[in-house]
Amino acid sequence: MSTANVHPFDLLSPEVILEAVESRGLITDGRLLALNSYENRVYQVGIEDGTPLIAKFYRPERWSNEQILEEHQFVSELVDAELPVIAPLADEHSADPNNATLSEYQNFRFSLFPRKGGHAPELDNYDHILVLGRFLARMHNVGGVKPFAVRPTLDSKSFGHDAVAYITEHFVPDDLRLAYTSLTKDLLQAIDEKIAAVEDVQLLRVHGDCHVGNVLWRDDNPHFIDLDDARMAPAVQDIWMLLSGDREAQTRQLAEIIDGYQEFRDFQPRELHLIEPLRTLRMLHFSAWIGRRWQDPAFPKAFPWFNSPRYWGDEILNLRNQMAELNEPVLRLQP
C-alpha cells in the first residue's frame, strides 16, 4: 500500500487495538466496538473474565505526553475530591508511577478507562440542572487550586484569530471570501473588546467541553467524561454550554445552575458578559477544527456538507446572526 495518503489512524487495525490492550497485561476476548469519537479513536474492548474496558487512542501530534498526563493528573485530583469523573486506569506494571495512565504501542498512545453506563442529563429537568451546578462548582474548586503548567488557555487568538486565518486560506470559496473576512474581522474585534471589558476574570482548570454528550447521568448524579479539552478558562465556559433554547429558557436554566453552583462556590456575575463571545469563538473554532482534520477519512464521512459552497453561505448567515447576539443584552441572573 502507498503511504502517501495514509492517515495515521488507518494503521490502527483491530489487531493493533487488541494487541495494545493486551500489552497492559490483560487478555482480550476479541470483542471490539467502535464508539462515537472523531478527535481520537475510542473502542469498547471485551476482556476475558472481566468487564469490558474503554480504550482511547490519542490523535497523533495533538497533545504532548506532558499535556495528556497533566489532564490525567487533574482527573485524579477530582477523584480524590470524590467527584464523579471517569478516570484512566493505571498500568500496574509501569516502571514509572507518574506516567502509568498513558501507554504506547506501535507509535499509538492510549489509555484505558472503566466502562460506565448512563444517559444524557435532561436539560428541561431543573432538578438535573441544579445538581449539575453543584458538581461544576466542586470541580472548579479543584480546578482553581493551581493552574495548568503545559495545557493551553482558551483565548481569542487560538480559537478565533488563528481559526479564521486558517479557514480563510484553505476553505472559504473565492466568491464568499470577502463576505467572510469582512464579517469575521468585525466579529473578532467585538469579541476582543467584550473580553477586555470584563475585568478580574479568574482563569482556572475547567472541563472545557462540558456539553450533554460528555455528561452521563446515573444514580441521580452526573458523571463527567472526556476531559480531553481541559484547559485554562473562566468558570462560565463550563456553564454556558449547558444552556439551550430561547432566551427565556436559557435564563431559567442559568438561574438553576447558578443556584446549585453557589452552594459550593461563588459565581462572578460579570462572567455572564463572556457567554456570547465564548459561543462565537466556539463557532469559529469548530470550522477550523474540521478543516485541520479534513485529511482524516473519518471527517469527510462525518461532515459531508463541510467544504461546500452551501456550507460557507450558511456559515456566514449563522455568524451574522451571532453578531446580532453579541449586541444583545447579556443574560441576567434572576431569583
Averaged over successive runs of 10 residues, the pLDDT of the chain (335 residues) comes to: 65 96 95 93 95 96 96 97 94 82 96 89 86 97 98 97 97 96 98 96 96 88 92 98 92 95 97 97 97 94 93 97 95 82
Domain 126-326: CATH superfamily is: Transferase(Phosphotransferase) domain 1 (1.10.510.10)
List the one residue out of 127, 144, 109 whose CA is nearest residue 222.
Answer: 127
Q: CA-CA distance, 146 to 232, in Å (whole number)? A: 10
Q: For residue 37, how far is the Cα from the chain centroid?
A: 11
Break the chain into its structural domains and give their ranges: 8-114, 126-326
Cell numbers at residue 247, please? Answer: 432566551
Residue 291 contacts residue 171 (beta carbons within 8 Å) = yes
What is the model's pTM?
A: 0.93
What local confidence, expressed as pLDDT, does residue 2 receive?
Answer: 40
Q: Which residues are catalytic?
A: 209, 226
What local confidence, expressed as pLDDT, does residue 5 receive?
Answer: 65
List the one residue out of 97, 89, 82, 93 whose CA is nearest residue 113.
Answer: 89
Select the CATH number that applies to the domain covering 8-114 from these four: 3.30.200.70, 3.30.420.10, 3.40.50.1440, 3.30.1440.10.
Answer: 3.30.200.70
What local confidence, expressed as pLDDT, does residue 126 receive?
Answer: 87
Cell numbers at residue 171, please? Answer: 476553505
What local confidence, expressed as pLDDT, does residue 1 receive?
Answer: 39
Q: CA-CA distance, 283 to 314, in Å (whole number)? A: 12
What local confidence, expressed as pLDDT, does residue 3 receive?
Answer: 43
List the one residue out of 109, 115, 91, 103 whose CA is nearest residue 12.
Answer: 109
What single-letter amino acid sits at 102? L
Q: CA-CA distance, 191 to 278, in Å (whole number)? A: 8
Q: CA-CA distance, 313 to 43, in Å (whole number)? A: 36
| Torsion sign, CA atoms 121, 122, 128, 129 | positive
